[in-house]
Amino acid sequence: MNTPSHSFVCSLCGRPYEMQPAERHLCPACGGSIEPVYDLVGKRDYYRKVLQRGSQNGIWGYRGLLLVTETLVPVSLCEGNTPLMQADNLSKVIGIRHMYLKNETLNPSHTYKDRFATIAVSLARQKGTQTIALGSAGNAAASMAAFAAKGATDCFVLLPSGAVRERAWQIRSYGARLITMEGTINDCIIMAKRGEELFGWENVSTATCFHPWAAEGYKTIGYEIGLQTNFQMPDWIVCPVGGGALLSKIYRGCQDMLTLGLINRIPHFVGVQAEGCMPLVRAYEVNATVAEDWGVPDTIAFAIADVCTFESATVLSILRSTGGTAVAVSDSEILEAMQLTGRMEAVLAEPSSAVTVASVKKLLAGGVISPEDSVACIISGSGIRDLSLMIQGLPDVPKVGLNDVDALRAVVAQYQEGAGK
C-alpha cells in the first residue's frame, strides 16, 4: 500500500510493528491498536503552536499530526470544527453542573466519520485508486460515499439488510453502488475486505485496524475539545463504542496535548454501548483484557451494534487507566435520551449518539459521576435519519377543521395544559 512512510508501534505494549498487508492491523503480542510515532518532544514548540492556533480549515489544519504527506491534495467538504455546546437545559434536567455536547452531527454528512473519510479518499486519490469499498451500518457508508463523490472515486457499500432505510437513501444519493447483505455489520466489513482480492478495490472500512492512516482523523475531536475549553478539559468524556476507534483516538488526542504540556490531566473516559450489543461492557465487567464477539445484536442503536469491538484491548486499557468505566443502556433509555436532547438542546442525536446522554443520567444515579463534575458527550451522528424513532410514544398531532376557531382554542389549551405539568 503506497501510503506515507512512518514508524508504527502497539499503543499498549510499545512493540514495533511492521506495516504489511494484513486482515487486521493489531499487535500480535497483546492485541493493542497499531499507532504511528510522532516526534512530539523534538518538535514541541511547533506542535504546541498548531494546537493552540487551531484550524480554520477543518481537520486539515492539523495535517502535521496526521499521516499524510505535505504534497497531498485533500478531498474535503469542510469537515471538522464542530461546536462544543454547553447543554445548560440538559444539565438542569439531568442534574449535573456542566454538560457539553460535542456536536458531530454538523459535519458534512452528519457524522464524525467524515474525519476518517476525508483522509481515506484523499490517500486513495493520491495512489490512483479507482474504486473503494466498505462494510458499514450506514454512517460510515454515507460519509465515504459523499467524499468519494467529491473525489470522483467509485464507491461500493455493503450494508446489512436490517439497516435503517433512510441511511440507504443517503448513500444512494451520493451515487455509491449499494449492496445490501444478510448478516451483521461485521459480516459486511469482512466481505468488503475479501473484495480486495476478488475485485481489486481498496477496503476503507472505518476501523483503526483496517486503515490506521485515516483513523488519525478522529484525534482532531480531542484537539478541538482542548481548544474549545481553553485546554481546561472536562472531567469526563463519554463516547459511544462500536468498533472502538472513536474513543481510542480521542484519547490519543488528549495524550498528545498532555505530552505537549497543553493540558495537565487526561479526562476519565466512558465507553457506552447498547444492552442489545455490549461486547466491550461485558469484557469490562468480568475484568477481561479483550472483548469476545457478541451474538446477534438486538438494539435500535444500529450504528454501534458491532459484534466485534476491534479495538477492545486498547479501549479497555484506556477506561481503566483513566479511572473511567464502561456502561450499557437500554433501548427505552436511548429513546428517552433522543427525545430529551432534541427537546432541551435542539440537537437531533441518532440512537448510537443518544447512548452517551442516557449513560450520564445512569452514571449519576449510580454515584459514578458527581453532580459537580463536567462531562462532554460525543454526539457522533445525526438523528435526522431516525425521526420515526424520535416520535415514538408522542401523542397524535391534533387536527382542526377549516376556520374552526373553537376547535383551535381547545387544542391550544390542551397543549398549554400539558406544558404546565
Could you report the per-residue pLDDT of 371-390, keeping only the tens digit for each?
Answer: 999 999 999 999 988 888 88
Q: What pLDDT does residue 390 have?
A: 82
Domain membership of residue 68 (yes or no) is no
Name the residue range of residue 223's domain: 84-109+215-390
Residue 273 resides in a domain: yes
pLDDT confidence of 421, banded at 50, 70, 90? Answer: low
Per-residue pLDDT, 58: 93
Which residue do the cell numbers 454501534 mark?
A: 304
DSSP secondary structure, 339-385, as one string: HHHHHHH---B-HHHHHHHHHHHHHHHTTSS-TTSEEEEEE-BBGGG
Strand (E) or helix (H) holding 256: helix 245-259
Q: What CATH number is associated with residue 318?
A: 3.40.50.1100
Query: Which has the higher per-residue pLDDT, 311 or 20?
Result: 311
What is the tally of structural domains in the chain?
Answer: 1
Residue 255 has what DSSP assignment?
H
Least Cα distance to 31 among 45, 17, 49 occurs for 17
Is 51 contained in some domain?
no
Indicate the angle between helix axes 245-259 and 44-53, nearest 10 degrees: 120
Asked whether residue 2 carries a pLDDT value surpassing 60, the answer given is: no
What is the pLDDT averaged over residues 99-120? 97
379 falls within a domain: yes
Q: Is the pLDDT of residue 17 over 90?
A: yes
For residue 402, give the C-alpha cell. Answer: 377549516
Mean of the per-residue pLDDT values of the chain = 93
How far apart are the C-alpha atoms of 174 and 21, rounded to whole Å?
Answer: 29
Amino acid making up residue 166: E
d(CA 247, CA 324): 12
Instruction: Report pLDDT for 1.
Output: 42
Q: What is the pLDDT of residue 5?
A: 59
- pLDDT band, residue 199 (cuts 50/70/90): very high
Q: Is the pLDDT of residue 337 over 90?
A: yes
Within a domain: 322: yes
Binned at pLDDT 50, 70 and 90, residue 164 comes out as low
- State the cell numbers at 85: 455546546
> CA triplet 146, 106, 143: central angle to 5 degrees?
20
Structural domain contains residue 74: no
- pTM (2 decimals)? 0.94
Asked if residue 288 belongs to a domain, the reply is yes
More confident residue, 4 or 352: 352
Q: What is the phi/psi pair of residue 19, to 5°?
A: -75, 105
The C-alpha angle 164, 215, 151, rounded to 5 degrees, equals: 70
Q: Is residue 282 part of a domain?
A: yes
Q: For residues 39, 40, 46 and 51, what is the CA-based torsion angle, rounded to 10 degrees? A: 140
